[in-house]
Amino acid sequence: MPVTREIQTVAGAALPIYESFAVRRCRYAPESGAKGRFCLASGVHGDETLGQLILFEVAQRITAQPERLAGVVDLYPMLNPLGLDIGERMVPVGTRLDMNRSFPGNPDGTPLERICHQLAEDMRGADFVLDIHSGTHLKHELCEARITAKEPEPLIALARQLCPDLIWVYPDRIAYEASLSGALCGMGTPSMLLQADERGGDPRKTAARVADGIFRLMAHLGLWDGGAQESLPRIPCIRAEAEVVRVTCQRPGMYVPHPCIGMKVSAGQVIGRIIDALDGAVLEEIASPSAGLVFSQRCYSSVYPGTLIARIFSPERRDNA
Q: Name the strand (E) or helix (H) holding 155.
A: helix 153-162
CA distance 309 to 145: 21
CA distance 220 to 164: 16
Last residue of a domain, one of 188, 222, 237: 237
- C-alpha distances in angstroms, 131 versus 17, 22, 225? 31, 18, 23
What pTM was estimated for this model as a whole?
0.92
- C-alpha distances in angstroms, 152 versus 30, 40, 171, 182, 185? 31, 20, 10, 11, 10
Residues 76 and 29 in one domain: yes
Of the chain, the percentage scoring pLDDT greater than 90 comes to 71
Last residue of a domain, one of 237, 255, 276: 237
Residues 298 and 152 in one domain: no
| Predicted pLDDT of residue 82 | 84
3-state secondary structure 230-248: CCCCCCCEECCHHHEEEEE
| Predicted pLDDT of residue 157 | 95
Give the CA-trace dihedral at 300, 80, 21, 54, to 10 degrees.
Answer: 120
Residues 291 and 219 in one domain: no
- Give tens-digit pLDDT for 44-77: 998 888 999 999 999 999 999 999 999 999 999 9
- C-alpha distances in angstroms, 292 versus 266, 302, 316? 7, 25, 8
CA distance 216 to 68: 12
Total number of domains constituting the chain: 2
Query: Over 80: is that where the pLDDT of 247 sits?
Result: yes
Last residue of a domain, one of 184, 211, 237: 237
C-alpha closest to that of 12 among 82, 100, 104, 98: 82
Query: Over 80: is that where the pLDDT of 201 sits?
Result: no
Residues 58 and 139 in one domain: yes
Residues 19 and 114 in one domain: yes
DSSP one-letter string for 51-97? HHHHHHHHHHHHHH-GGGB-SEEEEE--SSHHHHHHT-SSB-SSS-B
Regarding predicted confidence, which is higher, 202 or 158? Answer: 158
Mean pLDDT, rounded, for 93-116: 86
The alpha helices in 221-284, defined as continuous H runs, are: none
- Give tens-digit pLDDT for 153-177: 999 999 999 999 999 998 665 557 8
Confidence of residue 181 (pLDDT cuts 50, 70, 90): very high
Residues 29 and 66 in one domain: yes
Residues 262 and 223 in one domain: no
| Predicted pLDDT of residue 60 | 98
Q: What domain range includes position 255?
A: 241-319
Mean pLDDT, rounded, for 259-275: 95
Q: Could you tell me the CATH number of the domain that includes residue 306? A: 2.40.50.100
Confidence of residue 34 (pLDDT cuts 50, 70, 90): confident
Mean pLDDT, rounded, for 249-260: 95
- Give tens-digit pLDDT for 278-317: 999 999 999 999 999 999 999 899 999 999 999 999 987 6
How would you classify the pairing of strands 144-147 and 166-169?
parallel
How would you classify the pairing of strands 3-15 and 19-30?
antiparallel
Query: Over 60: is that where the pLDDT of 321 sits?
Result: no
The most confident of the ranges 8-17, 27-36, 174-183 is 27-36
Exposed, middle or buried, 84 (CB in 10 Å: 0-12/13-18/19+)? buried
- What average pLDDT is seen over the chain? 90
